[in-house]
């Protein structure tokens, strides 16, 4: 009886069969054309002339340098944004203050602004003709066309990922548990390490993965500040562009496949985290209903 | 430990949450802060705990000013309405938390912590749940764990913010009796906030009735129920009928009848009568109010009749089931009402 009722209800609220198939088919065709075909093409092009040349692309000193720089940039930008993201999310979700909504909006700025503009901002500030340019030149500090500029630009574009992930999570969880910890005699640090952090760890990891993917893949902002000096200031995306412009398709696609692989790993880890946190929540629910 | 509340005031923007509150709480007392939502009761509790700071005034613990003491140093136990258990920790770890975060010099050994936690879990009769996570417990179990966690740090004061507010009626009744027994065992100065008058009257040694940021009355449950200090207290502590009239020579006329108000001055007055303190009759006596039964509602053990009196429609009269059946009352009948006890407040605003 109950089963037939639910069947009736779901039929009552759903579309006819051919509408469902048409919509599903359209979505699948779209995904195939725009996502799956290009992804296959990247690996196909990279491997077109065999494994030998594919692997040779990575032993090239310029490619190695690009990979190293990309890793260094991510290794600096991601931890910086980790600290900033947690601090910002904490501030916004735990305190009521004037300018709170302005701060929330400002955090989104890097998403709203074109990455090229983000790069230009730093050139205007730290470039030879920029505001701080003469002072930096005097003290022999290089920011633009050097690693610090690349790191700065990357920090800028990956700024929102972790904070955006944490703010809604922390607002939903509320501060009751933290207050409880304080009343029980815990210090601010103890409360953070023992109560706050364990509660946000999955959301935090999720934000870190997304920020990392963007940090390694960023092109526009980094392109403006890097100066494209081979073996010095090229990251993987910039290296791909240079190889492509030189008609070195195998090399370009080989390096591109590295980034594509990174994307696939990111998605896999992301799905794993989602699956895991859903499973944990479900287990809790099941236990609760057994009572 | 005794608590003295001196001239406490608190505003949120333009809203006055607490207006110059003064209150002395004796050591070992179980006190209820009772009032409607928005009356400031939770704010007062949070100020005592140190989770909120007062704009003015002092809180003294055992005669000692706590104004500059951080929450974590006040040695209070706080039980939140929504339990606030640490969701990623087991029940055992929740209760052990307050002991584990102590500085090394005062932190008990692991075996001592184990002994203490199991002792507390036995006290709240949930020792068998030690390895569960909070999400796997029922609401009543969670609140008892929250209480065990608060008691683990051996607080000098126990503060409970609507501790049973999120539970269903049956569990609530069980738990408040249990809380009363627990208090009789451990004799800890305790303050609990509630908007449920029945809960306050049943559990507390003394009840503080709050309204719009100030104290309306402080007294034992009998005192506040039998001799309410203001119309607000009278109305808040139970169902009530209001008769607007004018007292003249010790009598207030209501429709064709009148109500005795021997001590009231000659002035406009509001007369309060509780629904279960009205006698019903088919025979007109000298002063009885005339009315007609308009509705009969059967609420389990009690029956509520609504009687339309001239000028006052829908006067509620509560009868026990037996008295209702003996009387055989019907809708549409003419009846005569005699209040047994009344409270007269002169010159209402």
B150–chain A Cβ distance below 8 A for any pair = yes
Residue of A nearest to B157 (CA): A183
B78–A180: do the CB atoms touch at under 8 Å?
yes
Among B76, B88, B141, beta carbon nearest to A199: B88
CB B221 within 8 A of CB B204: yes
- pLDDT band at A287, cuts 50/70/90? low
- pLDDT band at A1, cuts 50/70/90? very low
For residue B114, give Cα distances in angstroms to A183, B121, B129, B132, B210.
Answer: 21, 11, 14, 16, 41
Strands B76-79, B268-273: pairing kind = unpaired
Chain A residues near residue B98 by CB distance under 8 angstroms: 184-186
Among A186, A198, A288, beta carbon nearest to B72: A186
Query: What is the four-CA torsion angle of A249, A255, A257, A259, rounded to 10 degrees?
Result: -140
Q: Six-digit token pair at A38?
A: 């290009």
B335–chain A Cβ distance below 8 A for any pair = no
B153–chain A Cβ distance below 8 A for any pair = yes
Residue B310 backbone dihedrals phi, psi, to 5 degrees: -55, 120
B136–A287: do the CB atoms touch at under 8 Å?
yes
Predicted model pTM? 0.79
Query: How is A262-276 classified by DSSP, letter by letter?
Result: HHHHHHHHHHHHHHH
CB B305 within 8 A of CB B332: no
A146–chain B Cβ distance below 8 A for any pair = no
**Is the pLDDT score of A192 beyond 50?**
yes
Tell the burial category of B334 from Cβ atoms under 10 Å away from its Cβ (0-12, 13-18, 19+): exposed
Rounded Cα–Cα distance for residues B98 and B85 (Å)? 12
B12–chain A Cβ distance below 8 A for any pair = no
Instruction: Express each pLDDT in A43-96 by its tens digit.
Output: 888 888 888 888 887 888 888 888 888 999 999 999 999 999 999 999 999 888
B84–A291: do the CB atoms touch at under 8 Å?
no
B133–chain A Cβ distance below 8 A for any pair = yes
B281–chain A Cβ distance below 8 A for any pair = no
B340–chain A Cβ distance below 8 A for any pair = no
**Is the pLDDT score of A7 beyond 60?**
no
Which of A182, A183, A192, A202 has the highest number of chain B CBs within 10 A, making it the mutation to test binding with B?
Answer: A183
Residue of A nearest to B96 (CA): A184
Instruction: Express each pLDDT in B171-224 by its tens digit.
Output: 888 888 888 988 888 889 999 999 999 899 999 999 999 999 999 999 999 999
- Average pLDDT value for residue range A110-118: 88
Scan residues 187-216 of A and list those with Cβ closer than 8 Å to B.
Answer: 187, 190, 194-195, 198-199
Helix axes A176-183, B139-152, angle to 10 degrees: 30
A94–chain B Cβ distance below 8 A for any pair = no
Q: Which residues of chain B have pLDDT under 50?
A: none
B95–chain A Cβ distance below 8 A for any pair = no
Among B84, B101, B132, beta carbon nearest to A186: B101
Q: Tell me, what's the pLDDT at B8? A: 92
Q: Tell me, what's the pLDDT at A43? A: 85
CB B68 within 8 A of CB B75: no
Helix axes A249-290, A61-94, angle to 10 degrees: 30
Q: Tell me, what's the pLDDT at A11? A: 63
Rounded Cα–Cα distance for residues A64 and A57 (Å)? 9
Among B80, B88, B135, beta carbon nearest to A176: B80
A284–B137: do the CB atoms touch at under 8 Å?
no
How close, in Å, is residue A103 to chain B by CA atoms? 22
Chain A residues near residue B141 by CB distance under 8 angstroms: 291
B88–chain A Cβ distance below 8 A for any pair = yes
Strands B241-248, B268-273: pairing kind = antiparallel
Residue of A nearest to B132 (CA): A287
A184–B149: do the CB atoms touch at under 8 Å?
yes
Instruction: Express each pLDDT in A197-243 by its tens digit.
Output: 998 988 898 899 889 989 988 888 888 888 777 777 888 888 888 88
How close, in Å, is residue A92 to chain B by CA atoms? 19
Q: Higher pLDDT residue, B49 or A287?
A: B49
Three-point CA angle A19, A20, A25, nearest 5°: 100
Instruction: Express each pLDDT in A247-264 by its tens digit.
Output: 888 888 888 888 888 888
Q: Tell me, what's the pLDDT at A2? A: 44
Q: Tell me, what's the pLDDT at B300? A: 86
A185–B101: do the CB atoms touch at under 8 Å?
yes
CB B197 within 8 A of CB B166: no
A183–B72: do the CB atoms touch at under 8 Å?
yes
ipTM of the complex: 0.82
Nearest one of A120, A123, A270 to A205, comparing CA atoms: A270
A176–B49: do the CB atoms touch at under 8 Å?
no
Rounded Cα–Cα distance for residues B80 and B49 (Å)? 12
Residue of B nearest to A290 (CA): B136
Chain A residues near residue B152 by CB distance under 8 angstroms: 184
Q: Tell me, what's the pLDDT at B139? A: 87
């Amino acid at each position: 009886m109950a089963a037939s009722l639910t069947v009736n209800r779901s039929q009552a609220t759903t579309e006819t069969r051919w509408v469902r198939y048409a919509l599903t088919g359209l979505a699948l065709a779209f995904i195939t054309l725009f996502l799956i075909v290009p992804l296959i093409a990247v690996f196909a092009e990279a491997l077109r002339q065999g494994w030998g040349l594919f692997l040779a692309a990575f032993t090239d000193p310029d490619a190695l340098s690009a990979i190293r720089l990309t890793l260094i940039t991510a290794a600096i930008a991601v931890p910086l944004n980790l600290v900033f993201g947690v601090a910002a999310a904490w501030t916004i979700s735990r305190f009521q203050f004037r300018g709170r909504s302005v701060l929330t909006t400002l955090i989104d700025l890097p998403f709203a602004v074109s990455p090229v503009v983000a790069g230009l901002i730093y050139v205007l500030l730290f470039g030879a003709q920029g505001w701080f340019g003469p002072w930096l030149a005097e003290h022999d500090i290089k920011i633009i066309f050097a690693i610090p500029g690349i790191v700065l630009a990357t920090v800028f574009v990956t700024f929102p990922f972790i904070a955006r992930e944490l703010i809604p999570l922390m607002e939903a969880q509320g501060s009751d548990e933290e207050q409880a910890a304080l009343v029980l005699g815990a210090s601010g640090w103890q409360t953070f390490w023992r109560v706050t952090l364990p509660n946000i760890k999955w959301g935090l990891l999720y934000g870190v993965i997304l920020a990392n993917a963007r940090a390694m893949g960023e092109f526009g902002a980094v392109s403006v500040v890097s100066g494209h000096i081979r073996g010095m200031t090229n990251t993987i995306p910039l290296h791909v562009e240079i190889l492509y412009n030189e008609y070195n398709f195998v090399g370009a696609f080989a390096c591109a496949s590295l980034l594509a692989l990174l994307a696939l790993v990111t998605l896999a880890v992301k799905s794993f985290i989602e699956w895991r946190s859903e499973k944990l929540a479900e287990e809790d629910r099941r236990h609760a209903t057994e009572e | 430990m005794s608590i003295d509340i001196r001239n406490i005031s608190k505003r949120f923007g333009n809203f006055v949450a607490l207006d110059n509150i003064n209150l002395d709480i004796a050591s070992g007392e179980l006190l209820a802060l009772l009032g409607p939502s928005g009356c400031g009761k939770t704010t007062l509790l949070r100020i005592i705990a140190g989770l909120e700071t007062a704009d003015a005034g002092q809180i003294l613990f055992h005669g000692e000013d706590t104004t500059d003491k951080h929450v974590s140093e006040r040695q209070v136990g706080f039980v939140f309405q929504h339990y606030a258990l640490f969701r990623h920790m087991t029940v055992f770890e929740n209760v052990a938390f307050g002991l584990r975060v102590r500085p090394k010099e005062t932190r008990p050994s692991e075996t001592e912590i184990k002994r203490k936690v199991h002792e507390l879990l036995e006290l709240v009769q949930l020792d068998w749940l030690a390895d569960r996570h909070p999400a796997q417990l029922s609401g009543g179990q969670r609140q008892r764990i929250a209480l065990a966690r608060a008691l683990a740090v051996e607080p000098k004061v126990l503060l409970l913010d609507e501790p049973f507010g999120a539970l269903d009626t049956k569990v609530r009744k069980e738990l408040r009796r249990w809380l009363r027994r627990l208090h009789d065992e451990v004799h800890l100065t305790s303050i609990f906030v509630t908007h449920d008058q029945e809960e306050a009257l049943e559990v507390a040694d003394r009840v503080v009735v709050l309204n719009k940021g100030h104290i309306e009355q402080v007294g034992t449950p009998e005192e506040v129920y039998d001799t309410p200090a203001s119309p607000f207290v009278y109305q808040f502590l139970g169902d009530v009928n209001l008769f607007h009239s004018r007292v003249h020579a010790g009598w207030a006329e209501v429709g064709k009848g009148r109500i005795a108000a021997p001590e009231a001055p000659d002035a406009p007055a509001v007369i309060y009568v509780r629904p279960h303190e009205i006698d019903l009759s088919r025979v007109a006596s000298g002063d009885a109010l005339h009315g007609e039964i308009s509705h009969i509602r059967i609420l389990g053990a009690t029956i509520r009749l609504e009687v339309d009196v001239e000028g006052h429609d829908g006067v509620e009269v509560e009868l026990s089931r037996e008295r209702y059946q003996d009387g055989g009352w019907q809708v549409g009948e003419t009846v005569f009402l005699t209040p047994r006890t009344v409270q007269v407040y002169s010159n209402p605003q």
